[in-house]
């Protein structure tokens, strides 16, 4: 391993692969976030210690959360680690989206650490300034495959950005090539969207290209992103990670942010499972993704010890014997349009308006899918298939809606989507766009890195019924707050949906909702946008939905308030007595 990084001890140059422990990351571990939020630092240190004991050669430390003082928590935790020789013997990876956090953290670590990360997303001037500071502080650096246009998702964009960054770092900054670690973006596969199928294969091709063309540079990646579609099935996720790591290491990948205590090893995977996973990663196709979805569903059913009736597939005749509402919900859940037109025709004879079918049994079916996804009993690609079935149902109903000439009911509404300024992540937003489009919404997508004034301008011109703000990194939370503040000042009060990996119901209630005049909804995942938004767009339920939302957010705010201090008299009464 041609890289000189160290904690109290240098990294062994004889190792060919460096596993970076991922559990000291508040964005990726709910337990770690809870411990830091509560000030339970000894338990948080135990998580770091266990990762080193389990074989992590580097520890990733991330304190980016909207409700934490990230700089203070990073500095404090690194100082604590510095007093624990069994932890600080390994190098630290300082992980933050906020450059101020990184620069402060670099003053606190012993040895030579790794900065995670810098990128070209803000242009060459900022990139070079950050790179020079990293070099001055004596650290190695992770370089993300982002540029001014956004996140690289194709093989061609990945190699172009990595080549450009390499030349700037080596030729302009004078950074040793062995101090450069490229992260060409590990992205989720088998999402149900064809354009995502090749993400893993393109990453692996990029690894080979970097090793052949950018001498001395290393390659890393956040492996858990790969399997996000299968959240809730740990075996499938860990098996995918194991195969991906095996294939990546064969091609020259020498770093990865992983869970060192993962239980599924490459050698443990049965051949029939291995073949299915290899097809998804190395021979991507819609058929490969479907096979993996089927395997994950089968294993989930077995792990829950489902009854024989639950395990038995439901035939078309069985489905047709259900009630109309059950049939529609079943077909949405399975993502099938078989005999859907017959069911819609039957529904038209029972419901007074065609739009009532959308707002009634179809939306109830979507709500069921959302609950199952949240419980880990359905996977992202299945949700996308559900959305496409919903789109087909809406297409069947559309002529009837138009024939009834119900004003304003030609669509579910207009939605404006944007990834906020400073953030180039848009894959989750794109999935939201697909799901909402399939549910009858007209969607205008402003793209990534959209400043507040552009969102306000578009809202005033487009006059949407709702606005969706997306962001993956912690600085995006402040941008969302500023955006809704400017929207409110401009007189906009339509529902605003907040989504992204670092967002939360608590942060939305405490920081974003108070500066906006209309409803601000935190959306956990793409399946929830439509059912969460619908009550606020229906005049008959909007007031009740707003009242319930305010109560919910007020309760969240109270739960975050610190306990009141005891009075002086109480404190004196409760003083310790040692006699």
C-beta of residue 254 within 8 angstroms of C-beta of residue 182? no
Residue 333 tokens, joined: 């859940």
What are the helix (H) ranges across 39-152? 41-53, 70-82, 85-88, 99-105, 124-136
R_g over Cα of the chain: 26
- Give the C-alpha separation, 285 to 149, whole Å: 27
What is the phi/psi pair of residue 50, to 5°?
-65, -35
Q: Would you call 425 a catalytic residue per the annotation?
A: yes
C-beta of residue 417 within 8 angstroms of C-beta of residue 432? yes
Place of tokens 């859907």: 340
Cβ–Cβ contacts within 10 Å for residue 298, how many? 11
Closest-CA residue to 61 (of 99, 12, 113, 15): 113
- Give the C-alpha separation, 40 to 176, whole Å: 39
Contacts of 181 (CB under 8 A, 6+ apart): 3, 114, 140, 141, 142, 143, 217, 218, 219, 220, 255
Terminal Cα-to-Cα distance of the chain (whole angstroms): 61
What residues does 443 pair with on adjacent strands? Answer: 415
| Cα-based torsion angle of the residue sequence 374, 377, 382, 387 in order, rounded to the nearest 10 degrees | -40
Catalytic residue selected from 220, 476, 504, 527: 476
DSSP character at residue 120: S
Contacts of 30 (CB under 8 A, 6+ apart): none
Parallel, antiparallel, or unpaired: how do β-strands 496-499 and 520-522 relate? parallel
Catalytic residue selected from 196, 273, 425, 507: 425
Helical (H) or strand (E) element with 156: helix 155-167
C-beta of residue 23 within 8 angstroms of C-beta of residue 47? yes
Contacts of 27 (CB under 8 A, 6+ apart): 33, 62, 64, 65, 474, 501, 502
For residue 80, the Cα-to-chain-centroid distance in whole angstroms is: 29
Catalytic residue selected from 183, 423, 426, 465: 423
| Cα-based torsion angle of the residue sequence 296, 231, 361, 550 in order, rounded to the nearest 10 degrees | 170
Task: Cite the active site residues.
Answer: 423, 425, 476
């Amino acid at each position: 391993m041609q890289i000189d990084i160290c904690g109290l001890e240098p990294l062994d140059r004889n190792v060919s692969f460096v596993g970076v422990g991922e559990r000291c990351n508040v964005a990726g571990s709910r337990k770690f976030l809870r411990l830091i939020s509560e000030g339970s630092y000894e338990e948080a240190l135990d998580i770091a210690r266990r990762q080193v004991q389990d074989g992590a050669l580097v520890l990733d430390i991330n304190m980016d959360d909207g409700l934490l003082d990230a700089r203070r928590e990073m500095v404090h935790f690194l100082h604590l680690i510095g007093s624990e020789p069994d932890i600080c013997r390994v190098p630290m990876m300082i992980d933050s989206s906020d450059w101020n956090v990184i620069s402060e953290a670099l003053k606190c670590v012993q040895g030579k650490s790794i900065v995670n990360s810098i990128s070209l997303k803000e242009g060459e001037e900022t990139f070079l300034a950050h790179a020079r500071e990293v070099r001055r502080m004596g650290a190695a650096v992770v370089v993300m495959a982002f540029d001014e246009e956004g996140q690289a998702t194709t093989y061609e964009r990945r190699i172009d950005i990595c080549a450009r960054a390499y030349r700037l770092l080596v030729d302009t900054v004078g950074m040793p090539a062995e101090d450069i670690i490229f992260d060409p973006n590990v992205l989720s596969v088998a999402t149900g969207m064809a354009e995502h199928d090749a993400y893993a294969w393109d990453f692996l091709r990029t690894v080979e290209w970097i090793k052949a063309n950018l001498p001395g540079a290393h390659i890393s990646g956040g492996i858990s992103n790969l399997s996000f579609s299968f959240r809730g099935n740990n075996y499938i996720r860990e098996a995918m990670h194991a195969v991906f790591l095996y294939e990546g290491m064969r091609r020259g990948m020498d770093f990865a942010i992983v869970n060192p205590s993962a239980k599924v090893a490459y050698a443990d995977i049965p051949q029939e499972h291995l073949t299915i996973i290899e097809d998804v990663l190395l021979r991507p196709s819609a058929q490969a993704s479907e096979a993996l979805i089927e395997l994950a569903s089968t294993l989930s059913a077995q792990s829950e010890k489902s009854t024989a009736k639950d395990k038995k597939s439901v035939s078309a005749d069985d489905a047709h014997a259900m009630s109309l509402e059950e049939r529609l919900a079943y077909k949405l859940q399975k993502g099938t349009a078989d005999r859907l037109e017959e069911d819609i025709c039957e529904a038209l004879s029972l419901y007074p308006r065609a739009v009532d079918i959308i707002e009634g049994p179809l939306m109830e079916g979507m709500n069921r899918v959302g609950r199952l996804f949240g419980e880990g009993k359905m996977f992202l690609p299945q949700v996308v298939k559900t959305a496409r079935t919903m789109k087909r149902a809406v297409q069947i109903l559309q002529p009837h809606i138009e024939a009834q000439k119900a004003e304003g009911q030609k669509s579910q509404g207009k939605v404006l989507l944007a990834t906020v300024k400073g953030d180039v992540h848009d894959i989750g937003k794109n999935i939201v766009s697909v799901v909402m489009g399939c549910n009858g919404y007209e969607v205008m997508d402003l793209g990534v890195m959209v400043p507040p004034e552009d969102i306000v301008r578009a809202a005033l011109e487009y006059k949407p019924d709702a606005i969706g703000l997306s962001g993956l990194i912690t600085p995006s939370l402040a941008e969302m707050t500023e955006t809704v503040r400017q929207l409110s000042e401009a007189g906009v009060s339509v529902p605003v949906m907040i989504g992204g990996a670092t967002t939360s119901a608590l942060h939305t209630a405490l920081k974003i909702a108070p500066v906006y005049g209309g409803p601000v909804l935190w959306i956990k995942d793409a399946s929830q946008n439509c059912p969460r938004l619908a009550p606020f767009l229906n005049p008959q339920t909007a007031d009740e939905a707003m009242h319930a939302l305010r109560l919910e957010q007020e309760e969240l705010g109270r739960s975050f308030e610190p306990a009141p201090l005891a009075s002086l008299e109480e404190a004196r009464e409760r003083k310790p007595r040692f006699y």
